[in-house]
């Protein structure tokens, strides 16, 4: 079946971008976003805006977005990644090499508030969509550009993969066991951070009231998560080594196996918490562990004492002891265990929509909460809406 032809010629009615339920109070109601991005970081950026009511139009190329073919699939054949990162969005298909479709995109951008794209630098311009010209035509437009390394610099043309940022940001060099290889994260960590950074930067730019380009990249987003490590190197020549689950400023800190085979994660970042932990495991009088410097110097001995104490108790017993000591510890959970966790259930950390369990919105607003309204839609699901628009009073139907 041929895809529906889209509206051609003339100004695009503002009703095209109306939200699905104008009566619902959501904080970003009325915000119009065009999402040209693909894979994870850009779609996450637009998804965070959609979760709080922005009307996001996801533009795919003919044949579908790359994410439609990545990873696990649900019962209807869509990938779980697609259903997540493109939830709460409209889906239209445009061939940007076709003049009519490119013209339609221009008209969408002329009445939009935000454009999110993650092409390699220069590709947007090659399509004739020069940001300065788009902003000239629509002075309020915020153009969010997410790339691997930014719009300029020697690496601007390198592929924009999170793995590269995780390797170059310093993360991999200090992640792993002391005698092991550098480790990359087992999830799309940088894409998530960059997506949040993009959504935050978009809102900052919108608050300015001035149409402008927002340059967000994976390397610099991941670098933000490194804390003061660059300062520590610059001032003291310090390079953090691989410490397994440990970190330099919290000892003991790691994962320890209980007698029933399950694992406990422990953190002792402050002196007061560390003192309570030392007392609890029976070494509160050991002068080696009464100061931060002492705990640092005797990390191996303290880790051994902590591991021995946990190994003599079940996970439940260890968690209860930490709770009684008002110290920080938690069970290591997998997804199946987290789904049944009473706190996660009570807080609705995950919600079921369209038969799928997904993360709930990232923040809870007391007066104007966000909502997961629908998951990623079929390719071209909203093309007919564009084709049939003829009356400014006609809103998009609610999916």
Give the residue numbers annotated as catalytic, written as ranges: 191
Whether residue 252 is preceded by a cis peptide bond, meaning omega within 30 degrees of 0, is yes
End-to-end Cα spacing for the chain: 21
DSSP 206-231: HHHTS-EEEEEEHHHHHHHTTTTHHH
Question: Pairing between strand 254-257 and 263-267?
Answer: antiparallel
For the beta carbon of residue 312, count every other beta carbon within 10 angstroms.
10
User: 87 and 353 in contact (C-beta within 8 Å)?
Assistant: yes
The tokens for 171 are 């993360």
Question: Pairing between strand 263-267 and 328-331?
Answer: antiparallel
User: For the chain, percent helix, then strand, then coil, each to nearest 5?
Assistant: 40, 15, 45
Question: 3-class SS at 367?
Answer: coil
Q: Cα Rg for the chain, rounded, in angstroms?
A: 25
In angstroms, the CA 44 to CA 46 distance is 5
Any idea what the Cα angle at residue 361 is, between residues 319 and 19, rounded to 5°?
170
């Amino acid at each position: 079946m041929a895809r529906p032809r889209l509206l051609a010629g003339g100004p695009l009615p503002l009703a095209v971008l109306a939200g699905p339920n104008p009566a619902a109070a959501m904080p970003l109601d009325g915000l119009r976003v065009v999402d040209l991005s693909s894979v994870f970081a850009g779609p996450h950026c637009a998804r965070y805006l959609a979760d709080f009511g922005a009307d996001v139009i996801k533009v795919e190329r003919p044949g579908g977005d790359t994410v439609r073919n990545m990873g696990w699939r649900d019962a209807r054949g869509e990938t779980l990644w697609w259903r997540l990162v493109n939830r709460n969005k409209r889906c239209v298909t445009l061939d940007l090499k076709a003049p009519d479709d490119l013209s339609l995109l221009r008209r969408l951008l002329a009445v939009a508030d935000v454009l999110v794209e993650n092409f390699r630098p220069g590709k947007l311009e090659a399509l004739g969509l020069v940001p300065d010209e788009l902003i000239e035509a629509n002075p309020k437009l915020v153009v969010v550009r997410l790339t691997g390394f930014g719009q300029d610099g020697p690496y601007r043309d390198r592929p924009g993969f999170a793995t590269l940022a995780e390797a170059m940001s310093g993360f991999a060099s200090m992640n792993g066991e002391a005698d092991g290889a550098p480790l990359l994260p087992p999830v799309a960590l940088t894409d998530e951070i960059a997506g949040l950074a993009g959504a935050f930067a978009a809102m900052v730019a919108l608050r300015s009231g001035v149409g402008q380009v927002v340059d967000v990249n994976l390397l610099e987003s991941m670098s933000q998560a490194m804390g003061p490590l660059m300062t520590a190197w610059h001032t003291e020549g310090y390079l953090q080594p691989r410490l397994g689950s440990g970190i330099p400023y919290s000892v003991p800190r790691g994962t320890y196996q209980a007698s029933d085979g399950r694992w406990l994660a422990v953190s002792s970042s402050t002196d007061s918490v560390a003192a309570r932990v030392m007392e609890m495991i029976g070494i509160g009088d050991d002068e080696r562990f009464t100061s931060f410097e002492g705990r640092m110097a005797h990390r191996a001995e303290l880790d051994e004492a902590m591991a021995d104490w946990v190994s003599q108790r079940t996970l439940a017993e260890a968690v209860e002891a930490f709770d009684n000591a008002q110290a920080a510890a938690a069970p290591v959970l997998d997804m199946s265990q987290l789904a049944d966790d009473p706190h996660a259930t009570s807080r609705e950390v995950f919600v079921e929509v369209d038969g799928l369990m997904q993360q709930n919105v990232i923040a809870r607003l007391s007066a104007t909460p966000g909502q997961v309204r629908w998951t990623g839609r079929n390719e071209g699901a909203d093309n007919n809406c564009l084709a049939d628009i003829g009356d400014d009073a006609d809103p998009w139907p609610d999916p």
